[in-house]
Amino acid sequence: MNKIHFVGAGPGDKELITLKGHKHLSEADIVIYAGSLVNPELLEYCKEGCEIYDSASMNLDEIIAVMKRGTEENKKVVRLQTGDFSIYGSIREQAEELSKLNIAYDCTPGVSSFLGAASALGVEYTVPEVSQSVIITRAEGRTPVPPKESLQSFAAHQTSMVIFLSVQMIGKVVKQLIEGGYPEDTDIAVVYKATWQDEKIIKGALKDIEDKVKENGIHKTALIMVGRFLGSEYKYSKLYDKDFSHEYRS
């Protein structure tokens, strides 16, 4: 029986899918794509006659039913997910349902939007001696977040943070970050539709970002990035320091 192929579509720019993802997409007989976030230009890679489903208006049972029929008909089925499916990709529930039906699957990773957003800004999350960790998280909304993962608690680390799925609550996010210990003048950026043609970058400080985001009418498809990695402080890495020898350079 054919496998289901989960493919990460990348953050938007249609050239940011992997070669392997592109291969799967161009060979697919059935594609189920997340229409709310995947750039439809990627569907140009599909062959003629490929059946295309937009999962935005489907529930889990309907998605699984299309996958099941596809495998029964010996068709190549691709599930095209935004960015990389390992981050807020709801792949777990799909995988569990497929296992119940004894349908196998494989996965081809994609470029997550938090990487696309860093490229849009041309920044490094891990600036030597400024920040060496990245927290990927979201604010609590209709989807609960475990209490130990509150934005306030993460803010205490003062390391690089990327907040998904939360720009519509920017006011609440800012309040929690400040409550957690970030100074009000901490650098923050909001990247809307990173790597898309209509990408927008908004930079500010915790104290003024809410107004800027609202003035720009941004309420979805954006990431909030916060931390000193966005600021003017930096140190050079040891890796390329001429006085620093290592395994590959003496």
Given a contact cutoff of 8 angstroms between Cβ atoms, the answer to whether 178 and 208 are in contact is no
Q: How far is the CB of 80 from ligand SAH (least distance, A)?
A: 11
Q: Which is nearer to ligand SAH, 37 or 121 (CB)?
A: 37
21 lies in the binding site for ligand SAH (CB under 6 A): no
Restricted to residues 189-218, the positions that interact with ligand SAH (CB under 6 A) are 191, 193-196
Q: Which is nearer to ligand SAH, 36 or 99 (CB)?
A: 36
Given a contact cutoff of 8 angstroms between Cβ atoms, the answer to whether 197 and 14 are in contact is no
108 lies in the binding site for ligand SAH (CB under 6 A): no
Reading the block at residue 53, the tokens are 């489903």
Q: Write the DSSP string, 147-164.
A: GGG-HHHHHTT-SEEEEE
Q: How far is the CB of 246 from ligand SAH (least distance, A)?
A: 33
Given a contact cutoff of 8 angstroms between Cβ atoms, the answer to whether 55 and 35 are in contact is yes
DSSP designation for 167: G
Restricted to residues 70-89, the positions that interact with ligand SAH (CB under 6 A) are 82-85, 87-89
Q: Which is nearer to ligand SAH, 88 or 152 (CB)?
A: 88
Q: How far is the CB of 245 from ligand SAH (least distance, A)?
A: 38
Contacts 24+ apart (CB under 8 A), 218-221: 218/167, 218/190, 218/192, 219/167, 219/168, 220/167, 220/168, 221/37, 221/192, 221/193
The single residue among 25, 50, 64, 117 that binds ligand SAH, judged by CB under 6 A, is 117
Q: CA-CA distance, 187 to 142, in Å (whole number)?
A: 27
161 lies in the binding site for ligand SAH (CB under 6 A): no
User: Which residues bind to ligand SAH, rule: CB under 6 A?
Assistant: 11-12, 37, 82-85, 87-89, 112-113, 116-117, 164-165, 191, 193-196, 221-223
